């Protein structure tokens, strides 16, 4: 089983780095459906993989100086609070409810990606050269209140489903706070680590992180995301994204069936 978990982590990390869609959204349902991990433990365990991915990739973004640490830290006040409180509440949630919620979220994400024509990653993201001098126009983040409120929701979703929440944070920073897209992406990535850690600690204290599952998973994710980051410029991302969407639909369907079987 350890070997399969290594492979699973590797694939999730690779796909995540290639497409910009974090691995958490795939890991939780796969752990729960095929590895017999109860949904709440699956969420807690995949949070560890989410932190690993964030730490590895955001150290690369930081080297390119595209991360707005001040903005990230400010919004983290809200994401960490939302994530911590929600992670605490999850302890009182019905497991079937969690499974249904996750299936709905998978379906929603897959449809959102399709409606955007398979574009999930800003073009400038694919620049492979770490030392390339990126020119960012001067900017001043606007509408902090809106940004903080959205971050609270993103954090709560992260604590609820064990995901990073990038698809919420990036558009909020880019559209409402008028932060350049490249900075929004890097800063979102930067925030994911703290957001996931805020909920992961609550899950850990409750015993909802299965160490023997999390370790091989994180090792696989780490190697997969490093390799994916290197391969990203040479791969036709669109094909990979459609593959991912297919997997998401399949998992949502299977999760729903599993849920119905449990209820009947």
Partner 1 sequence: MSQLREPAFDRAVALVLRIGAFGCFFVMLAGLIDGWFMTGRIPSDIERAGVLLMLATPVVRVIVACFLFFREKDYKYGWISLGVLIILLLGSVFGIGEH
Residues 3, 64: Cα–Cα separation, whole Å: 35
Residues 125, 199: Cα–Cα separation, whole Å: 28
Q: Is 154 in the site for partner 1 (CB under 8 A)?
A: no
Sole binder of partner 1 in the list 210, 229, 251, 252 (CB under 8 A): 210
Q: Do 224 and 9 contact (CB within 8 A), yes or no?
A: yes
Write each residue from 170 to 199 as x if it is in contact with partner 1 (CB under 8 A), else as -, in one continuous string: -------------x---------xx-xxxx
The pair phi, psi for residue 35, each rounded to 5°, is -115, 5
Q: Which among 46, 52, 45, 48 is positioned nearest to 17, based on CA atoms?
A: 52
Residues 88, 92: Cα–Cα separation, whole Å: 8
Instruction: Classify residue 101 by burial, with Cβ atoms within 10 Å: 0-12, 13-18, 19+.
Output: middle
Sole binder of partner 1 in the list 15, 37, 43, 200 (CB under 8 A): 200
Sole binder of partner 1 in the list 62, 101, 114, 227 (CB under 8 A): 62
Q: Is 16 in the site for partner 1 (CB under 8 A)?
A: no
Task: Return the number of the residue (221 or 245) whose C-beta is nearest partner 1.
Answer: 221
Q: Is 130 in the site for partner 1 (CB under 8 A)?
A: no
Residues that bind partner 1 (CB under 8 A): 2, 6, 48, 51-52, 54-56, 58-59, 62-63, 65-71, 73-74, 76-77, 80-81, 83-84, 87-92, 136-141, 183, 193-194, 196-207, 209-212, 214-216, 218-219, 222-223
């Amino acid at each position: 089983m350890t070997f399969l978990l290594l492979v699973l982590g590797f694939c999730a990390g690779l796909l995540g780095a290639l497409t910009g869609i974090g691995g958490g959204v795939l890991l939780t349902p796969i752990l729960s459906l095929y590895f017999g991990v109860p949904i709440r433990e699956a969420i807690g365990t995949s949070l560890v993989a989410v932190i690993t991915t964030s730490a590895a990739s955001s150290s690369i973004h930081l080297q390119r100086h595209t991360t707005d640490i001040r903005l990230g830290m400010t919004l983290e006040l809200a994401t960490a609070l939302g994530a911590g409180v929600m992670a605490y509440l999850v302890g009182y949630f019905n497991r079937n409810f969690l499974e249904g919620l996750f299936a709905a979220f998978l379906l929603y994400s897959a449809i959102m990606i399709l409606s955007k024509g398979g574009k999930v990653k800003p073009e400038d993201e694919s620049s492979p050269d770490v030392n390339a001098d990126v020119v960012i126009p001067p900017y001043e983040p606007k509408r902090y209140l809106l940004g903080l409120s959205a971050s609270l929701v993103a954090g709560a979703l992260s604590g609820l489903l064990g995901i990073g929440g990038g698809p919420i944070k990036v558009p909020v920073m880019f559209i409402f706070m008028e932060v350049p897209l490249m900075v929004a992406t890097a800063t979102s990535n930067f925030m994911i680590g703290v957001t996931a850690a805020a909920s992961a600690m609550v899950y850990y204290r409750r015993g909802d992180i299965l160490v023997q599952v999390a370790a091989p998973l994180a090792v696989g994710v780490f190697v997969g995301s490093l390799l994916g980051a290197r391969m990203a410029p040479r791969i036709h991302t669109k094909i990979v994204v459609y593959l991912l969407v297919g997997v998401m639909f399949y998992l949502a369907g299977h999760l729903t069936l599993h849920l119905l079987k449990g209820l009947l």
